Amino acid sequence: MLHHSPLIATIVGGLLLAFVLGAIAQRLRVSPLIGYLLAGVVVGPHTPGFVADQALANELAEIGVILLMFGVGLHFSLKDLLSVWTIAIPGAIAQIAVAIPLGAGVSWFLGWPLPAGFLFGLALSVASTVVLLRALQERRLIQTERGRIAVGWLIVQDLLMILALVLLPAVAGLVGGTALPDGTDSATPSTSDDVLIALAVAAGKVIAFVITMLIVGRRVIPWILHYIAHTGSRELFRLAVLAIALGVAYGGAVFFDVSFALG
């Protein structure tokens, strides 16, 4: 690749292959998403030929996830989530509760340690938000009752995974940590109090973020968009939308430790 312009090379190579393979997938009457995924494999480091900059590709992928979730947020509200909470919340919790033991059982059969099995089961318990939402959008199901349940289910999973990722270091320390190749431990010893403190801090940050968006966001962001719309500039309005979508996601990650997708 061109070493003096890795960003341009990554964008051009990724978009070109995504377009070609996405068009082929569409021609074969399958979701273009399959073509996009194959394009990522082709420009990855495990296939011959052009290799995209992995660090830049990951950040560009985060931008894509942010914009996709922003689009979903335009069609999904807190009212929609509350209307399906009796299914989404117990369903998401039950899915995680079932998948973790199954993953741990498979890891035990493979001879993995228990903490690794727990982490494997945790990874299996989460559905791909991007893939599922893209599929729902293609079939125009987001506004249906099943679509609202699916989106609410994903949001609950995202919230639970935020708590899980915050708790993992403390839990790893509680069980003694995991040995690294150099012989050191991946986590310092923790106590049950550390786990409770980490859980409280994580839950507090998520709650603070949601409250901030419900109070400040619902008043400030509409006012900004209303003002920009009255300027009559389409370019400025598009820029305002991009700035809000990316700015809120980045600010949520920096100040509240929530995921870019949730932001």
**What are the pLDDT digits (tens) for 97-132?**
898 899 889 888 888 888 888 888 888 888 777 778
Distance between CA atoms of 143 and 73, rounded to whole angstroms?
Answer: 12
| Structure token pair of residue 91 | 């369903």
174, 190 in Cβ contact below 8 A? yes
pTM score above 0.85: no
3-state secondary structure of 46: coil
Q: Nearest-CA neighbor of 174 among 201, 150, 194?
A: 194
Q: How confident is the model at residue 238 (pLDDT cuts 50, 70, 90)?
A: very high
Average pLDDT for the chain: 82
What does the DSSP 8-state code read for residue 213? I
Q: How confident is the model at residue 179 (pLDDT cuts 50, 70, 90)?
A: very low
Look at residue 84 and tell me whether its pLDDT is greater than 70.
Answer: yes
Annotate 113-151 with DSSP letters as a single string.
-HHHHHHHHHHHTS--HHHHHHHHHHTT-TTSHHHHHHH
Q: What is the pLDDT of residues 2-40, one digit of tens each?
A: 556 888 888 998 899 999 999 999 999 888 888 988 999
pLDDT score of 70: 86
pLDDT above 70: percentage of residues in the chain: 87
Look at residue 255 and tell me whether its pLDDT is greater than 90.
Answer: no
Q: Is the dihedral of CA 193, 195, 201, 204 positive or negative?
A: negative
Residue written as token pair 């989404």 = 88
